[in-house]
Amino acid sequence: MMAPVRRIVTFVNTGAAIPAGTYAAGATITDEFAPFHWTSGDAGAQWSARFTISNNAAGISKPYIVLGSPTEYVASATRAYIVFPGKFTPLVHGKPFVETGYWTFVVMKAGTGWQVVSQAWAGVSFK
């Protein structure tokens, strides 16, 4: 069930494309950059493109996130709600920056794998 989350973290940390099937059809994503909410069938592709555009516009380079152990995990046979503390440590205009927050995911079983149904980032501190 962690595979789609790992693929999204890999995108943030390396810029590698998020593989097809990571997000479920109708997935919803909420984040701190415009347009702040994505809900179309290709929400993951739209969010990842805007992540890159937003970072470039804000002078953010070398984006990198580390997720800690879940602070909340509730699961059924086919769905799970998982909240991770996160530490985002990019460079902003060449200077180190640290944003901590929580990245929340709902994943669902899809065939033999898992897909993200919902994803939301909530920033807590910015230094």
How confident is the model over 58-80, as pLDDT tens digits?
A: 999 999 999 999 999 999 999 99
* Closest by Cα among 93, 127, 98, 119 to 36: 119
State the DSSP string of 3-58. HHHHHHHHHHHH-PPPPTTSEEEEEEEE-SSTT-EE-STTHHHHHHHHHHHHHHHT
How confident is the model over 26-49, as pLDDT tens digits?
A: 999 999 999 999 997 789 999 999
The pLDDT confidence band at residue 113, using thresholds 50, 70 and 90, is very high
Structure tokens at 67: 């997720």
The DSSP call for residue 59 is T
In words, the CATH class of domain 3-126 is alpha beta
Residue 111: in which H helix or E strand, if any?
Answer: none
Query: Does the global pTM surpass 0.85?
Result: yes
Residue 114, burial from CB neighbour count under 10 angstroms (0-12, 13-18, 19+): buried
pLDDT above 90 as % of the chain = 96
